[in-house]
Structure 1
Amino acid sequence: MKILIIEDEPQMMDNMRQTLEREHYQVETASDFKTASEKLGVYDYDCILLDITLPDGNGLELLEQIKSQGNGDGVIIVSAKDSLDDRLKGLNLGADDYLPKPFHNAELNARVKAVLRRLHFDGHNQIDIGNITIHPENREVNIENELLELNRKEYDILMYLITNKNRLVTKSALAEHVWGDHIDQTDSFDFIYSQIKNLRKKLNKSTITIEAVYGVGYKLNVD
């Protein structure tokens, strides 16, 4: 899962980033309105942590931009401005949650997981697809109650394909979502081919298949 933190306080941003990376999320950051707006215009995120007060703009305007794009990104407003008016305006604009500063790291984790469950998994803690069962809380994957050993990238690829099941996912979108926005600096997708190849082998007893669409990307099918 890919998260964008929009926060202008360096220490706060670093604490949030480290907290979420320990949970194995792909985390990107933006410390000002302009950078955040540019990233939001190019990349997709599963969850966005949004500060209202930025040095060069208002976070609520970014929220309007996010919702106007219609990408379905989950948004949690994270701000020291905890007045009722700000909270109501953010929620009315489409924010999924509001987390006032200061907060504990455990609460941040819980809020992010709750938003991701609502958006991608209908609020469930367990995902069942074909004969596969996934527990996102501990990144555990089972095929008919047999634990499947996946490395971090294999798991992230599988989850991205599952959230886009029956849809064609381009190689560039998969690479950017799993490896981050700096992936556009590379001119080869060999690293994806290797991970997909290994993932297919591990899924050989499952009822899902990863279909390659030559020259374009991949599509997850459920038998």
Structure 2
Amino acid sequence: MKLLLVEDEADLQEVIRQSLEKENYLVETADSYALALDKIVSYEYDCILLDIMLPDGSGLDLLAELKQMNKSDNVIIISAKDALEDKVKGLDMGADDYLVKPFHIAELNARIKSVWRRKSLNGKNTMEYANMRMDLDERQVWIEGNELLLNRKEFDILSYLSVNKNRLVNKTALAEQVWGDYMDGADDYEFIYSQIKNLRRKLKENNAGIEIQAVYGIGYKLVTL
């Protein structure tokens, strides 16, 4: 999953970022209202971790902007404000969850997975497509019961295409999802082509009932054979 962490306290931001990256999340950060707004306008995220109190604005205003743009990013408010009225206001404005500081990273990780599964996977932590089964928590893939060994990027590509199966995924969106926001300025996408080539080979060698179709100059689509 690709996350945006909006937190202005530098030390806390770094602790959360490092901890979530150890859980195999791709984490982008913003330490101000202005930077966070620029990112949510320009990019897509699976989940946004949103502090309310920012030096140049309110996280609740960012939440309102998200809803006005009809963006479906999952939002978890992380705030030191634990009054009931603050929680109710945040949830009423469209936040998916509200976590009060200080919190354990394990709880934050569980909340992230929960809100994402609820919206994207109908509450499940697995995906099945043709003869492929994928466990997102354990980061494992099986073809007809046999485990398919993938590196981290191959797994991230396959899981993103699986969530968007039968849809054309723009190569820029795929690059940003797997490698980070800075990839929107990449001169070429050779790094994607290499991973896609290896992933296609592994799927074919293991008799997968799915394949990755390329639409020249645009992107990729995961379909059944």
Task: Name the aligned partner's letter for residue 208 of structure 1.
Answer: I
Which residue matches 1:136?
Answer: 136
5 Å-filtered alignment, 1:139-154, equals: 139-154=139-154
Which residue matches 1:216?
Answer: 218
- Relative to the length of structure 2, the TM-score reads 0.97
Aligned CA distance change for structure 1 residues 29 and 192 (closer, same or farther; 3 Å): same
Which residue matches 2:80?
Answer: 80
Distance in structure 2 (CA, Å) of the matches to 1:119 and 1:69: 18
Indicate the percent of aligned positions where both proteins have the same amino acid.
Answer: 57
Q: What SS does structure 2 have at the residue aligned with 1:203?
A: helix
Residue 40 (1) aligns with residue 35 (2):
no
Distance in structure 2 (CA, Å) of the matches to 1:69 and 1:199: 35
Q: What SS does structure 2 have at the residue aligned with 1:183?
A: helix
1:207 Cα deviation from its structure 2 partner: 1.1
- Listed one character per residue, the Cα deviations across residues 126-174 of structure 1 (whole Å, up to 9, x for unaligned) are 2111111111111011111111110111111111111111111111111
Alignment RMSD, CA only?
0.9
Task: Name the aligned partner's letter for residue 45 of structure 2.
Answer: Y
Which residue matches 1:2?
Answer: 2
Which residue matches 1:178?
Answer: 178
* Structure 1 moving runs of 4+ over 4 Å: none
Distance in structure 1 (CA, Å) of the matches to 2:68 and 2:223: 30
- Relative to the length of structure 1, the TM-score reads 0.97
Which residue matches 1:51?
Answer: 51
Q: What SS does structure 1 have at the residue aligned with 2:150?
A: coil
Distance in structure 2 (CA, Å) of the matches to 1:11 and 1:39: 21
Report the number of matched residues. Answer: 223
Task: Name the aligned partner's letter for residue 144 of structure 2.
Answer: E
Which residue matches 2:66?
Answer: 66
Distance in structure 2 (CA, Å) of the matches to 1:216 and 1:75: 29
Which residue matches 1:90?
Answer: 90
5 Å-filtered alignment, 1:116-135, equals: 116-135=116-135
Q: What SS does structure 1 have at the residue aligned with 2:94?
A: coil
1:184 Cα deviation from its structure 2 partner: 2.6
Task: Name the aligned partner's letter for residue 219 of structure 1.
Answer: K
Distance in structure 2 (CA, Å) of the matches to 1:127 and 1:170: 21
